[in-house]
Structure formats: C-alpha cells, structure tokens
C-alpha cells in the first residue's frame, strides 16, 4: 500500500486483510519521514524505539486473535504540547527545551489503549500562540504544497505531517483556530470538538476556557474515528463532559441530511475575506444545494467584536497559565546568573520565552490588573456572552452554520510577522466557535461547518456526504 493512499480506514483494512503488519508500515513511514521531513520540518522529535514496540504489540495482539480495532497500529503524529510519557514536550519553546513528560495526557492514554502508535511530536507556534508556526523556537515548518508558504498555525507541524503523508493522522489543539486554519492551509480535515468533549488533562494549557484537542486527518471519516476515541468524561478534567458519542458520528442518513437547514452568516462573507475563497465556498453551497440541502442567510451581529474579545480573554488566561514556567521547574535553563530569586525569575522568563509569548503575557497581565479589569476583561466576558447568544439565536432557525475557514490564502514567510495585528486578523473566522464553545469542522476547499453543542454528528455527516459526492463525482 502506498503511503499517499493511507487513511485510518485503509490502514485498518490492510491489517485485517493481512496486506501488511503494523511494524512494516511504521518502518516504511520512518524511512519516508527521514527523507521527506528535511524539506518541511514538521516533526520536532521522533521516538522510533517506542513506536516499534507499540507496533509490535499491535501485531502480537492481532496474531493472538484479539481482533483489529479501528485504531490498532495506526501511526499518529502528536502536537508537541500534548504529553506522551517519556517523550519530550517542548511546546516549541526554549523554556521547555529539555523537558520530558512524566505522564500521558488522557487523549494519549485512550489512544494507547486502542493500540495506536505515536511516531513523534510535531512543530507548532510557541505555546500554541500564532497562526503560521513561525513562532516556534525550533525553526519554521513549510507548507507541503509550496515550501515558500506557511503551513498555518499553531498546529502547523501536525497539519503539514498529515498533508505530506508523514503520518496517517495527527492531533493538534485549537484555542482560536489552531487546528482548523493549518488544516485549511495544508488542505486536510480538522475537527475542533465542543468545549468539554475531550479531556484537556496533559495538554500544556494556553487559555483553559477555550482550549480543545482535536484530530487532523485526510478525510472526514477518519476525523470521526479519532474524535470518538479521544472524547469522553475524565475525572482529571472537571470541564470534561459526560456526553458519550456513538455511531451517529459516522452514520450519515441522507434523508435526514436533506431535512437540514444550513445557515450562511452574512458577516463571514464580508469584503475582508479573499474573493477567491468566497467563490470556492459559494461553490460548495451550490453543490450541497443541488443535493437537496437547504440554505438560509443569517446574521451573527456581534462577529465584529470576536477578535477583540478573544485577544483580551485569551491573553488573560495565558498570563495566568504561563506563570508556572520559571525556568527552574520542568526544564531548568542553564547559564543564567542572578542576584536573587526575583532576579532569577526575571532573567529566566526573559530568556526562555519568545517575543509573541511575552507580548501576550504582558497584555494579559494588563487586562487583569486592578483598575483595568472591568474596562477590559469583565467587558470582554460580557461580549463573549453576546457572541454565544448570537449562535443560540441562529440555531433556532438553522441546524448547522457554514462559513469560510480563513480570510486569506496561505501567505509567505515573514509576510505578517512584523505586524502582529495582521497575524491576529487571520483568526477572525475561527475564534467565534471557541468563544461559544461550539464544534467546528474545517475541510477542503476551505469551508467550516459550525454545529450546535455536542452535535459533532451533524457537521461530520454533512462533511462526509459532501466529500463522498465530490470523490465519486
Ligand atoms: N492563532 C490564534 C492565536 O494565535 C489561535 C491559537 C490557537 O488556537 N492555539 O491565538
């Protein structure tokens, strides 16, 4: 089987039909990674030895007649802010350059129990802050479709690895668009789950009220499989929910789909969005319409405040979450000479964090400071409620909402690094789903389906149906 054709489903079929063993595929993948990843730098670290052991264990279980589960032996790439016991977890920061995780994140524990194989850890913007992976302390990741272009971010490594067939699928994290936008730039699929659907235990926190781990895959069916495996309640994450997802995620009944109404929010088809992108998304609408699905124009009037609201709430939470990194715990910084403890903290944090991380810590500290709290943070929380209410209102009339993912096409390196605001604007269409805690699926050719809370099935089923019709037509 050619690596380019490999999806989770095909990998599973290949194992069942004994076309290959898990170990053979993992070996083949590492050979390919060693040759190809020099060109795009999607991985920060590889753990061959552990992966071979996992693959052998999967093959052994099959030989013993234990049956082949949907994720048995499946080789995955994992964003470097998700902990895998005994592997590095740098979050692409100098601050954690020598840190080795001491335990598995809950998503990893679940996937391990399913027999999945972890190939390595992928590159990202430092602590998941950015939209191009240019904020990594360990070099840029290139877009596999054109090395002059960024892969998007912050899960740029995870998206590029899947697009370049250096993993069958991957995990990333999405706080304001970080799996959907890179998936869009690299032309693969990503699902940001409902807030609380997936445990955040063992994810290096960025903004805890927004963060969700989600799959990046080659097709919608694989996203459903991976999402189902990682979702579920976890006593180690008090915000994780009891909702259990079942077969409805991949069981699309066409008659039911045809009864759905999809909303098109006019604010997302604004002049600020690249014309070609709008054209492509409108074509998707036409194609779905011709299959019998109904559309309706809607309004989400507070969309224009989403970016400002996000860039207050997110840094506030970032400044609190990153307070624990002092350059002493986790991964001691070496060679820093200090007069006293306060001076050591200052010097370590100055040395260990990159520019964008520092900018956000300062912004966050400012918006939380007494005297400014009400004017910024408290106000942003109120606006967040209004943004949520917009969606609640819209979902009285429509089942699902369809929008573009990104206002721009993949851009060139350094194009936006001098102007942080222009970089922040690339998140304009993805942050509202995080602020409202809604699930959202991003897929080629550049559209996003936003669903109601806990209704991943709706967006996955429509996405799957669209993909199926495209591939067969
Ligand atoms: N690009 C956004 C930011 O820089 C989103 C990051 C994310 O989702 N982790 O904050």
Reduce the DSSP state of residue 353 to 3 states and report it.
Answer: coil
Does residue 172 fall inside a structural domain? Answer: yes
pLDDT at 449: 98
pLDDT at 148 exceeding the cut of 80 = yes
Any idea which residue has 């098109």 for tokens? 264
User: What number of CA atoms fall less than 13 Å from residue 122's CA on the CB side?
Assistant: 37
Does residue 275 fall inside a structural domain? Answer: no
Model confidence, pTM:
0.98
Does residue 466 fall inside a structural domain? Answer: no
Any idea which residue has 């990104």 for tokens? 406
Token pair belonging to 380:
């942003």
Spell out which residues line ligand 1, taking CB within 6 angstroms: 128-131, 154, 173-178, 206, 314, 427
pLDDT at 252 exceeding the cut of 80 = no
Q: Which tens digits make up the pLDDT trace of 408-421?
A: 999 999 999 999 99
pLDDT at 3 exceeding the cut of 90 = no
Does residue 422 fall inside a structural domain? Answer: no
pLDDT at 359: 98
Q: How many domains does the chain divide into?
A: 1
Q: Which tens digits make up the pLDDT trace of 374-390?
A: 999 999 999 999 999 99
How far are the Cα atoms of 65, 92, 460 from residue 69, in angstroms, in the given order?
12, 33, 21
In the residue annotation, 178 being an active-site residue is answered as yes
Chain centre distance of CA 322: 20
Does residue 185 fall inside a structural domain? Answer: yes
Q: Which tens digits make up the pLDDT trace of 70-89?
A: 999 999 999 999 999 999 99
What is the domain-level CATH number for residue 56? 3.90.1300.10
In the residue annotation, 42 being an active-site residue is answered as no
Active site residue: 42, 79, 406, 442, which one? 79
pLDDT at 192: 98
Distance 8 CA to ligand 1 centre (A): 27
Q: Write out the residue range of the structural domain in which residue 74 sits.
A: 3-249
pLDDT at 103: 98
Does residue 259 fall inside a structural domain? Answer: no
Q: Which tens digits make up the pLDDT trace of 259-278?
A: 999 999 999 999 899 999 99
pLDDT at 253 exceeding the cut of 90 = no
In the residue annotation, 79 being an active-site residue is answered as yes
pLDDT at 306: 97
Atom of ligand 1 lying closest to residue 434 CA: 8
Atom of ligand 1 lying closest to residue 177 CA: 8
Average pLDDT, integer, range 301-316:
97
pLDDT at 74: 98
Does residue 317 fall inside a structural domain? Answer: no
Rounded to 10 deg, the angle between the 48-63 and 22-40 helix axes is: 150
Q: Which tens digits make up the pLDDT trace of 435-464?
A: 999 999 999 999 999 999 999 999 999 999
Does residue 320 fall inside a structural domain? Answer: no
pLDDT at 66: 85
What does pLDDT average to over the chain? 96
What's the pLDDT band for 65 if we cut at 50, 70, 90?
confident
DSSP, residue by residue, 224-281: HHHHHHHBS--TT-TT-------GGGT---HHHHHT-EEEEEGGGG-TTS-HHHHHHH
DSSP, residue by residue, 158-219: HHHHHHTTSSSEEEEEESSSTTHHHHHHHT-EEEEPPTTSB--TTBPPS-TTT-EEEEEESS
Instruction: Find out whether 214 and 190 touch, Cβ atoms under 8 Å.
Output: yes
Q: Which tens digits make up the pLDDT trace of 214-231?
A: 999 999 999 999 999 999
pLDDT at 355 exceeding the cut of 90 = yes
Nearest to 439 by CA among 426, 449, 447, 427: 449
pLDDT at 6 exceeding the cut of 70 = yes
pLDDT at 473 exceeding the cut of 80 = no
């Amino acid at each position: 089987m050619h690596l380019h054709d490999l999806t989770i489903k095909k990998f599973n079929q290949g194992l069942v039909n004994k076309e290959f063993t898990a170990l053979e595929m993992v070996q083949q993948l590492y050979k390919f990674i060693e040759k190809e990843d020099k060109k795009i730098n999607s991985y920060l670290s590889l753990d061959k030895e552990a992966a071979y052991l996992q693959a052998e264990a999967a093959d052994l279980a099959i030989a013993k007649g234990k049956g082949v589960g949907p994720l048995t032996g499946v080789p995955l790439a994992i964003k470097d802010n998700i902990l895998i016991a005994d592997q590095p977890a740098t979050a692409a920061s100098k601050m954690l350059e020598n840190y080795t995780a001491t335990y598995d994140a809950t998503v990893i524990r679940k996937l391990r129990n399913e027999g999945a194989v972890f190939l390595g850890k992928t590159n990202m913007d430092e602590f998941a802050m950015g939209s191009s992976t240019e904020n990594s302390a360990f070099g840029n990741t290139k877009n596999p479709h054109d090395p002059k272009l960024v892969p998007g971010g912050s899960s740029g490594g995870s998206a590029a690895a899947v697009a370049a067939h250096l993993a069958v699928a991957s995990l990333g994290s999405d706080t304001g668009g970080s799996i959907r936008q890179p998936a869009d730039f690299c032309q693969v699929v990503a699902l940001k789950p409902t807030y609380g659907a997936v445990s955040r235990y063992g994810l290096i926190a960025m903004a805890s009220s927004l963060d969700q781990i989600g799959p990046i895959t080659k097709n919608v069916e694989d996203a459903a499989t991976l999402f189902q495996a990682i979702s579920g309640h976890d006593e180690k994450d008090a915000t994780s929910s009891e909702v259990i997802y079942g077969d409805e995620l991949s069981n699309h009944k066409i008659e039911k789909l045809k009864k759905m109404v999809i909303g098109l929010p006019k604010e997302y088809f604004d002049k600020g969005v690249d014309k070609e992108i709008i054209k492509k998304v409108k074509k998707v609408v036409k194609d779905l319409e011709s299959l019998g699905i109904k559309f309706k124009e809607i309004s989400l009037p507070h969309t224009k405040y989403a970016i400002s609201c996000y860039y207050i709430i997110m840094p506030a939470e970032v400044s609190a979450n990153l307070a624990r990194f002092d350059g002493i715990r986790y991964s001691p910084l070496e060679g820093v000479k200090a007069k006293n403890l306060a001076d050591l903290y200052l010097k370590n944090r100055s040395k260990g964090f990159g520019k964008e991380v520092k900018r956000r810590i300062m912004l966050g500290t400012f918006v939380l400071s007494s005297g400014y709290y009400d004017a910024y943070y408290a106000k942003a929380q109120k606006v967040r409620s209004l943004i949520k209410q917009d969606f609640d209102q819209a979902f009285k009339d429509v089942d699902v909402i369809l929008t573009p993912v990104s206002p721009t096409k993949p851009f060139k390196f350094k194009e936006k690094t001098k102007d942080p605001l222009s970089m922040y604007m690339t998140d304009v269409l993805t942050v509202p789903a995080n602020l409202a805690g809604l699930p959202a699926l991003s897929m080629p050719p550049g559209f996003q389906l936003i669903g109601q809370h806990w209704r991943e099935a709706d967006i996955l089923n429509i996405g799957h149906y669209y993909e199926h019709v495209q591939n067969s037509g």
